Structures are given as C-alpha cells and as structure tokens.
Amino acid sequence: MTNWIDACAPDDIDEEDVIRFDHGTVSLALYRLEDDRFFATDGFCTHEQVHLSNGLVMGKIIECPKHNGRFDVTTGEAKGAPVCVNLKTYPVKVESGRVFVDLG
C-alpha cells in the first residue's frame, strides 16, 4: 500500500542538506543530494535518540551530530561506528513542484 504525503517544496531543502519532517507519529529526515536527488529515512539515529536533521550531509552520507556515526541515505545502511543498525528508508518522488514521501 502506498501513502504519499506532501512533505515540502524541493527548495525547502538546500543542496547537500537535510531537514526534519514530522507526520503523525513518524519523524523523518529528508535529504537533498548534490545531484538533486531526494531521499528519506527515519529521523532518529539508530544509536541514540538524536535527530539526524541536525547532522551533516556529505555526498550520500549523513553524519550523526552526536557521535559522528554515518549512514548511507540512499539505502539507510549503517556505515561507521558507533552505528550498526540500519535506518529505515522511505520512497520519495518529486511531482508538480512538491516532494512526496511514501509512508506506506
């Protein structure tokens, strides 16, 4: 089942940056990469309850602001200690000048 939610305008996210998007009980991190692709993951780091929207995007990597754990935002894969649990990812599409996230 799909459940596309209108999250923001593309320009609400700077290139190579991340914003927080909350919807109901779900909190996401929405990323815009340098090549203008958009991705979404769970917002909270899998190490501790720290929101990744305060982290640093480098290429396709998000670095957690607390202990510098790293994830690949395109897959959610944990890439560097101390994180070892992957992030959940969500499909994203850009349509009619808006960014939509499929919350399933």
Residue 69 interacting with ligand FES (CB under 6 A): yes
Buried b (16+ CB within 10 A) or exposed e, 25-50: eeebbbbbbeeeebbbbbbbbbbeeb
Nearest approach, Cβ of residue 42 and ligand FES (Å): 12
Binding of residue 82 to ligand FES (CB under 6 A): yes
Residue 27 C-beta: closest distance to ligand FES, Å: 14
Binding status of residue 48 toward ligand FES by CB under 6 A: yes
Residue 82: is the preceding peptide bond cis (ω within 30°)?
A: yes
DSSP 8-state assignment for residue 45: -
What is the smallest separation between the CB atom of 25 and ligand FES, expressed in angstroms? 20
Count other Cβ atoms within 10 Å, centred on residue 72. Answer: 18
| 67 touches ligand FES by CB under 6 A | yes
CA max distance for the chain: 39
Q: Examine residue 62 and tell whether it contacts ligand FES (CB under 6 A).
A: no
**Binding residues vs ligand FES (CB under 6 A):** 45, 47-48, 50, 64, 66-67, 69, 82-83
